[in-house]
């Protein structure tokens, strides 16, 4: 059976199994204060449609992870969230500080331009525009004192706007409680095999100051993730930094909740986070023995990163009878300072080999990126659950100012160039250092967006509902920058602007033949604005540009868009003990924004590279039989380019080339609870996998035949503990079988100098949590 028939057969079988299952009786809910609500022991309330709904009644594919689930899975970061969620792929770049990351949902992934996945903290978007190849990347909140995380699969252009082409990930914080004293605490200690200790402590407390009128919730958290990569002197073998890739994370949040009269609630909050990494997790293949647990880097310098943000927000809600008014005003400010090692890169660029002739001739770099984003959204929405028509209308405005700087220090160049050529830097290059830098790239950009949107659900009958949504936006982008330094030639000043008026509709039909089953179909559009860009170094990149038939890089790139078609079903069976979900999707992606990497000089530019098709399915089930809970989910995505694109004599992308390199992903877990008097003991096993990744086709520019596709990954964790009343203490083992996949890369095809990353080795630990 070919892959297309197999896909169709699997999809049809899934829908048949769900659609013909026996009836069930849904229990009621007891929602208050936006808290996660348990229904039939498992169901939670989410706000994917900007209003509270049972997860089983939302006609889109959503993964909702409650705080309890996150604790049981040991999730602490976006890396863990992606590993838990089929058809969500997350990776980090193997260059520089190694902090730059890429995220994809259902194969919709890009390394440049505005985001393809929307990232939200509550109602505030925080994703970044990637204007250069290495200077900036998304930041994500660490996992502490979150009410839940919602992963919305498929384009969310109507309610969440540009940048949500593949989907949206929402990190929802916990609100203050007006009535009760509540709290949450977590502390953990662990050790990584052949690595260092990790530990954390955090506490959150919600307290009514005036009962039913004013409350405050405050939290503070710190975590140290111990390192497991050693930085050594490549010539002597001496350890320079043991467990060099350790990371410290800090967060604090204060939120108020004020009830003004009977109908108005105002909730101001401020959220601070800082993540500091001492060095990259990238290792050298030539110095590493993964099987023996010896993971080493020979980088001449450490590559530290400091990344911090503050969100100040105020949310206002007013009950206007059968209509609710909601407004959110927020300011997001972020600073990312990264100082990567560039020694081997510069030596390879100038001499054809990566090792410095003198140990003192090292090259560091500055990557400095900042965001200042003001966001305002206001919406009106119906609140009568008995009405046939449920609707939301709103307006959105954002103003984002972003600065991105990349500079390679030039001090060693003033010694290196005379040593190699007998001439000064200015004599050899024709220009001196620029403000002390050999390479200088400074860009400032402004993104502005205004939009109006609406979505309505109309019930024709008690079982049939239609959904219609529409968003009309106007976006403007402008930038100015300077490219200078000896490796770039004479200073060049750039500026540009670009604007769009995207329209993103959504159509849907939902059929609920009875209380137990929902079947839905939808068509939705997603949109990503285009942009403008500066040039690349005319000197060092001239040969690569000539291969493309160019004398300079393009200075702008156009918008791209997706149309997504999805059918799905959700069902709860056996009196709520079994829940099953299935969905199949087909996504057409046109005028894709992508980065063209120039392999000799190591930089690149953005352009549009044609179209692609992503098709696949999501399947999930959860079963609870007495004290035993079982969960499983699997995702399949086949995302490939539809055509070959050539520029000059070079192939940029090839027909059939995969965007999502690992087509299969999945997770499974089992937990058994054993009551023992006034305590409950439990044991849990979790398993996640990703299939082997495909390789870049050999005809594509920059193809490296020595780099294999990404290996398959298997991650197993065990957790066992006891809980009583508000306390829960457990022991865990993460990466039980010490799976250490080798993700291989290199920056140049001309030398046998290979990097790599792997997952954290086997880790043992203890966790104590308290919910009261």
In whole angstroms, give the CA distance from residue 61 to residue 637.
Answer: 14
How many C-alpha atoms does 414 have within 13 Å on its Cβ side? 10
pLDDT at 38 over 60: no
Comparing 24 with 753, the larger pLDDT belongs to: 753
Helix (H, G, I), strand (E, B), or coil: what is residue 78? Answer: helix
Tokens for 766? 């203890």
User: Quick check: 184 and 771 in contact, CB under 8 A?
Assistant: yes
In whole angstroms, give the CA distance from residue 323 to residue 380.
Answer: 7
Give the Cβ contact number of residue 171 at 10 Å: 22
Express as a percent the part of the chain with pLDDT over 90.
69
- pLDDT tens-place string over residues 453-465: 999 999 999 999 9
Strands (E) located in 61-145: 62-66, 88-92, 101-105, 117-121, 124-125
Residue 605 CB-density burial (10 A; 0-12 exposed, 13-18 middle, 19+ buried)? buried
pLDDT at 196 over 90: yes
For tokens 């467990």, the residue is 243
pLDDT at 21 over 70: no
Residue 510's DSSP bridge partners are 465, 520
**Boundaries of domain holding 62:** 3-771
Average pLDDT over residues 182-190: 97
In whole angstroms, give the CA distance from residue 476 to residue 451.
Answer: 12
CATH value at residue 187 = 2.40.170.20
Among 31-45, 140-154, 343-357, 667-681, the minimum mean pLDDT is found in 31-45
At residue 539, the pLDDT reads 64
Sign of CA dihedral 632, 152, 469, 527: negative
In whole angstroms, give the CA distance from residue 50 to residue 64.
Answer: 14
- pLDDT tens-place string over residues 663-707: 999 999 999 999 999 999 999 999 999 999 988 888 888 788 889
At residue 12, the pLDDT reads 36
pLDDT at 371 over 90: yes
DSSP 176: P
> Which residues, at least 6 apart from 13, have a Cβ–Cβ distance to it below 8 Å?
none
Tokens for 276? 């500091």
At residue 739, the pLDDT reads 95
Tokens for 182? 């509540």
- pLDDT tens-place string over residues 419-431: 999 999 999 999 9
Average pLDDT over residues 71-92: 90
In whole angstroms, give the CA distance from residue 479 to residue 254.
Answer: 35
Q: Which of 86-100, 111-125, 169-183, 650-664 has maximum average pLDDT?
A: 169-183
pLDDT at 524 over 70: yes
Q: Please, what is the angle between helix 343-351 and helix 413-421, to 10°?
A: 20
In whole angstroms, give the CA distance from residue 171 to residue 127.
Answer: 13
Tokens for 543? 């040969």
Rounded to 5°, angle at Cα 264 from 260 and 265: 80
For tokens 């009760």, the residue is 180
pLDDT at 762 over 80: yes
pLDDT at 15 over 80: no
The helix or strand, by DSSP H or E, that contains position 8, with its residue range, turns out to be helix 3-19
- pLDDT tens-place string over residues 144-176: 999 999 999 999 989 998 788 999 999 999 999
At residue 134, the pLDDT reads 56
Number of domains in the chain: 1
Tokens for 749? 């095809």
In whole angstroms, give the CA distance from residue 393 to residue 322.
Answer: 14
pLDDT at 389 over 80: yes
At residue 71, the pLDDT reads 92
Confidence of residue 133 (pLDDT cuts 50, 70, 90): low
Give the Cβ contact number of residue 184 at 10 Å: 22
The helix or strand, by DSSP H or E, that contains position 465, with its residue range, turns out to be strand 464-484
- pLDDT tens-place string over residues 284-297: 999 999 999 999 99
| Separate counts of helices (H) and strands (E) for the chain | 8, 44
In whole angstroms, give the CA distance from residue 594 to residue 612.
Answer: 12
Average pLDDT over residues 508-514: 96
Confidence of residue 602 (pLDDT cuts 50, 70, 90): low
Express as a percent the part of the chain with pLDDT over 70.
92
- b (16+ CB within 10 A) / e for 445-479: bebbbebebbbebeeeeeeebebebbbebebebbb
Average pLDDT over residues 181-210: 97
Give the Cβ contact number of residue 113 at 10 Å: 25
Comparing 536 with 744, the larger pLDDT belongs to: 744
At residue 94, the pLDDT reads 65
The helix or strand, by DSSP H or E, that contains position 16, with its residue range, turns out to be helix 3-19
User: Quick check: 323 and 380 in contact, CB under 8 A?
Assistant: yes
Mean per-residue pLDDT over the chain, rounded: 89
Helix (H, G, I), strand (E, B), or coil: what is residue 466? Answer: strand
Q: Provide φ and ψ at 210, rounded to 5°.
A: -135, 110
CA distances from 442 to 401, 476, 490, 660 (A): 14, 20, 15, 32
Among 32-41, 361-370, 455-464, the minimum mean pLDDT is found in 32-41
Average pLDDT over residues 569-573: 94
What would the 3-class secondary structure string for 19-73 be? HCCCCCCCCCCCCCCCCCCCECCCECEECCCCCCEEHHHCCCCEEEEEHHHHHHH
Average pLDDT over residues 463-490: 92
In whole angstroms, give the CA distance from residue 660 to residue 475.
Answer: 28
Give the Cβ contact number of residue 725 at 10 Å: 10
Confidence of residue 19 (pLDDT cuts 50, 70, 90): very low
In whole angstroms, give the CA distance from residue 279 to residue 580.
Answer: 43
Average pLDDT over residues 527-539: 76
Question: Which of 363, 442, 443, 344 has the alpha carbon at shortest distance from 409?
Answer: 363
- pLDDT tens-place string over residues 710-755: 999 999 999 999 999 999 999 999 999 999 999 998 877 777 789 9
At residue 132, the pLDDT reads 61
For tokens 């609500």, the residue is 37
């Amino acid at each position: 059976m070919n892959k297309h028939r197999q896909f169709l057969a699997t999809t049809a079988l899934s829908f048949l199994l769900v659609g013909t299952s026996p009836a069930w009786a849904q229990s009621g809910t007891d929602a208050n204060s936006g808290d996660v609500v348990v229904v039939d022991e498992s169901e939670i309330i989410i706000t994917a449609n900007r209003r509270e709904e049972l997860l089983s009644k939302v006609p889109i594919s959503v993964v909702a992870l409650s705080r309890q689930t996150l604790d049981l899975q040991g999730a602490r970061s976006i890396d863990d969230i992606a590993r838990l969620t089929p058809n969500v792929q997350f990776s980090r770049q193997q260059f520089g500080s190694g902090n730059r990351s890429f995220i994809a949902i259902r194969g919709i992934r890009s390394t440049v331009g505005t985001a393809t996945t929307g990232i939200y903290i509550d109602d505030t978007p925080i994703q970044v525009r990637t204007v250069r190849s290495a200077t900036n990347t998304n930041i994500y909140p660490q996992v502490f004192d979150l009410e839940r995380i919602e992963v919305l699969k498929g384009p969310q252009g109507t309610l969440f706007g540009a940048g949500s082409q593949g989907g949206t990930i929402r990190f929802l914080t916990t609100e203050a409680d007006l009535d009760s004293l509540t709290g949450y605490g977590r502390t953990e200690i662990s050790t990584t095999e052949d690595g260092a200790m990790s530990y954390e402590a955090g506490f959150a407390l919600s307290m009514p100051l005036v009962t039913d009128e004013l409350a405050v919730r405050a939290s503070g958290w710190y975590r140290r993730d111990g390192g497991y990569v050693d930085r050594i002197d490549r010539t002597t073998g001496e350890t320079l930094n043991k467990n060099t890739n350790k990371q410290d994370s800090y967060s604090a949040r204060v939120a108020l909740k004020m009830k003004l009269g009977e109908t108005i609630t105002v909730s101001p909050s401020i959220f601070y986070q800082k993540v500091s990494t001492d060095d990259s997790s990238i290792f050298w293949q030539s110095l590493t023995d993964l099987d023996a647990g010896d993971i080493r880097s020979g980088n001449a310098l450490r590559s530290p990163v400091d990344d911090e943000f503050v969100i100040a927000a105020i949310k206002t809600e007013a009950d206007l009878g059968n209509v609710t008014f909601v407004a959110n005003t927020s300011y997001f400010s972020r600073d990312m300072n990264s100082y990567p090692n560039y020694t081997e890169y510069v030596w390879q660029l100038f001499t054809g080999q990566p090792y410095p002739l003198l140990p003192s001739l090292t090259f560091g770099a500055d990557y400095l990126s900042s965001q200042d984003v003001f966001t305002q959204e206001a919406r009106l929405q119906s609140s009568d659950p008995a009405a046939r028509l449920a609707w939301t209308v709103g307006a959105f405005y954002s103003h984002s100012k972003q600065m991105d700087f990349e500079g390679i220090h030039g001090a060693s160049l003033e010694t290196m160039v005379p040593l190699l050529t007998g001439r000064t830097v200015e004599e050899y290059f024709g220009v001196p250092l620029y403000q002390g830098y050999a390479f200088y790239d400074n860009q400032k950009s402004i993104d502005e967006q205004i939009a109006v949107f609406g979505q309505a659900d109309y019930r024709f009958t008690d079982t049939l509902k239609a959904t219609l949504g529409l968003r009309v936006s106007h976006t403007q982008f402008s930038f100015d920058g300077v490219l200078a330094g000896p490796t770039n030639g004479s200073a060049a000043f750039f500026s540009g602007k670009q604007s769009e008026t995207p329209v993103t509709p959504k159509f849907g039909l939902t059929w609920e033949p009875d209380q137990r089953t929902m079947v839905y179909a939808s068509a939705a559009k997603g949109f990503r604005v285009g942009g403008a860009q500066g040039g690349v170094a005319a000197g060092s990149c001239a040969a690569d540009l000539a291969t493309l038939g160019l004398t300079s890089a393009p200075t702008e790139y156009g918008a791209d868009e997706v149309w997504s078609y999805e059918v799905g079903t959700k069902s709860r069976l056996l009196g709520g003990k079994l829940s099953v979900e299935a969905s199949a999707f087909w996504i057409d992606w046109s005028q894709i924004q992508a980065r063209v990497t120039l392999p000799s000089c190591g930089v690149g530019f953005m352009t549009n590279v044609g179209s692609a098709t992503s098709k696949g399915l999501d399947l999930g089930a959860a079963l609870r039989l007495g004290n035993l809970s079982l969960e499983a989910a699997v995702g399949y995505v086949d995302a490939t380019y539809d055509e070959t694109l050539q520029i000059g004599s070079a192939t940029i992308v090839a027909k059939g080339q995969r965007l999502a390199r690992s087509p299969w992903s999945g997770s499974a877990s089992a937990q058994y609870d054993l009551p023992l008097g006034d305590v409950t003991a439990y044991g849990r096993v979790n398993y996640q996998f990703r299939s082997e990744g495909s390789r870049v086709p050999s005809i594509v520019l920059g193809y490296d035949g020595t780099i294999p596709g990404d290996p398959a990954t298997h991650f197993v964790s065990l957790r066992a503990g006891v809980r009583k009343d508000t306390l829960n203490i457990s022991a865990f083992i993460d990466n039980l079988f010490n799976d250490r996949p080798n993700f291989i890369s290199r920056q140049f095809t001309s030398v046998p100098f290979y990097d790599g990353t792997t997952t954290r080795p086997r880790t043992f630990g203890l966790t104590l949590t308290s919910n009261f």
